[in-house]
């Protein structure tokens, strides 16, 4: 599926991919695109619906702290993470907005969760007294959300258990039942009938809570796919992950407004090779040339996020033209056929994911070649690959997720 392309900058300042990058491969992260996507979702859901940007797993591999700053400045009301340490890290970087913890937490993490004012998702009765004791010790009333499982069968409590947990929270002075929610299993499918069944089950659970005198102020169900495909599911809050970064989960998800892809993965040409017919390339001699070929060695491999499966049908863009991958992909390098691209020189930049010229390798296509999904493809980009942040036509920061994130000004 074709993704909306980032609008060209009018400034004469360097654009992503045009600077003299000092790395073998790198990821340009377009913060302007992320900001535009948040604002577009904000307009789509309307002013009465809160928007929480999902920044778990290093913001889908793009760097949570920089992304968090950007989405909050663009109008997101809060953030969502999957691990306690992800929320703690954001707090230590100065984030003061609400942070919802979407998944399970260990008893040993309760003190840190409360100290850093994360909002936990509660699904088990035994979590209630533990959280209450920690909140009491901290001298605060802790907001919590309860999650009801309506068919995903993942983290979440069955209906009757969720109702019981929600009621237990309301009877606990040190806790506040801020939210009640569920999560769709098939909102990214062409057939939305099961998603609508889930929504009906969720509404029935909310109605039962109300019948018992409990009305949490925040009821929510929609992830990115649900936000785009099921406006009736917007509720009081939407939890938007993939769409923030400019992508949709499957081609079945409608596009009621354009999304701007935020990621370009680059590598450089390290060597040019003249290969005779009958020559083998790469480990296992899995590829054999059938004609004389001009090839280029690129400084990117499976440790950087280019899956080994891409050597069957994968390609990169060089000078705006497709260059097929040949031979097995190594940990740090790969080889492409540039016979049709004689202008290629050592040092040239190749696009492995993203747009170059009039062509584009979309995230959906990249993921399909990997036998995976867009979410997995993004989060699998190598931690050692520098993330290079662009905003307003300027290179503003770099980060290396393989170690501690660096947020130095890059100019």
* Catalytic residue annotation: 56, 283
Q: How many angstroms separate the CA atoms of 211 and 146, rounded?
A: 17
Pairing of strands 349-356, 263-275: antiparallel
CB 379 within 8 A of CB 57: yes
Pairing of strands 175-181, 218-222: parallel
Q: Which residues contact 350 (CB under 8 A, 6 or more apart)?
A: 266, 267, 268, 269, 296, 298, 316, 317, 318, 323, 336
Long-range contacts for 114-120 (Cβ within 8 Å, ≥24 apart)? 114/138, 114/140, 114/142, 116/87, 116/88, 116/91, 117/91, 117/142, 118/81, 118/84, 118/87, 118/88, 118/91, 119/143, 119/144, 119/145, 119/178, 119/179, 120/144, 120/145
3-state secondary structure of 275: strand
Residue (of 52, 109, 61, 117) closest to 90 by Cα position: 117
CB 156 within 8 A of CB 183: yes
Q: Which residues contact 255 (CB under 8 A, 6 or more apart)?
A: 4, 228, 248
3-state secondary structure of 326: strand
Residue (of 249, 224, 245) closest to 368 by Cα position: 249
Neighbours of 243 (CB within 10 A): 26
CB 310 within 8 A of CB 369: yes
């Amino acid at each position: 599926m074709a993704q909306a392309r980032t609008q060209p900058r009018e400034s004469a300042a360097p654009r992503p991919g045009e600077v003299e990058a000092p790395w073998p491969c790198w990821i340009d992260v377009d913060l302007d695109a992320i900001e535009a996507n948040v604002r577009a979702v904000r307009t789509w859901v309307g002013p009465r619906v809160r928007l929480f940007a999902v920044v778990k797993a290093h913001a889908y591999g793009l760097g949570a702290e920089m992304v968090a700053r950007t989405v909050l400045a663009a109008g997101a009301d809060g953030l969502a993470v999957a691990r306690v340490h992800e929320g703690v890290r954001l707090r230590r970087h100065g984030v003061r907005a609400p942070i919802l913890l979407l998944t399970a937490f260990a008893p040993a993490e309760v003190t840190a969760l409360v100290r850093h004012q994360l909002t936990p998702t509660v699904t088990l009765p035994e979590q209630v007294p533990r959280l209450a004791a920690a909140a009491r010790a901290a001298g605060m009333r802790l907001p919590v959300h309860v999650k009801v499982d309506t068919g995903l069968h993942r983290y979440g409590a069955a209906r009757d258990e969720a109702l019981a947990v929600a009621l237990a929270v309301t009877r606990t002075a040190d806790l506040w039942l801020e939210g009640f929610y569920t999560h769709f299993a098939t909102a990214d499918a062409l057939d939305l009938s099961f998603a609508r069944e889930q929504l009906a089950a969720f509404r029935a659970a909310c109605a039962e809570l109300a019948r018992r005198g409990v009305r949490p102020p925040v009821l929510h169900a929609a992830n990115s796919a649900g936000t785009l495909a099921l406006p009736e599911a917007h509720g009081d809050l939407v939890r938007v992950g993939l769409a923030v970064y400019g992508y949709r989960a499957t081609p079945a998800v409608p596009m009621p407004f354009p999304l701007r892809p935020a990621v370009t993965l680059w590598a450089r040409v390290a060597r040019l090779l003249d290969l005779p017919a009958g020559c083998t390339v790469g480990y296992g001699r899995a590829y054999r040339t059938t004609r004389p070929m001009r090839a280029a060695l690129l400084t990117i491999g499976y440790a950087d996020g280019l899956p080994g499966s891409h050597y069957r049908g994968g390609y990169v863009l060089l000078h705006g033209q497709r260059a097929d991958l040949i031979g097995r992909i190594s940990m740090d390098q790969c080889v492409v056929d540039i016979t049709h691209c004689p202008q290629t020189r050592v040092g040239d930049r190749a696009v492995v994911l993203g747009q170059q010229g009039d062509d584009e390798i979309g995230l959906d296509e990249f993921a399909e070649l990997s036998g995976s999904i867009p979410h997995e493809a993004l989060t699998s980009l190598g931690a050692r690959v520098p993330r290079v942040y662009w905003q307003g036509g300027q290179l503003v920061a770099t980060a290396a997720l393989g170690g501690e994130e660096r947020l130095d000004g890059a100019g």
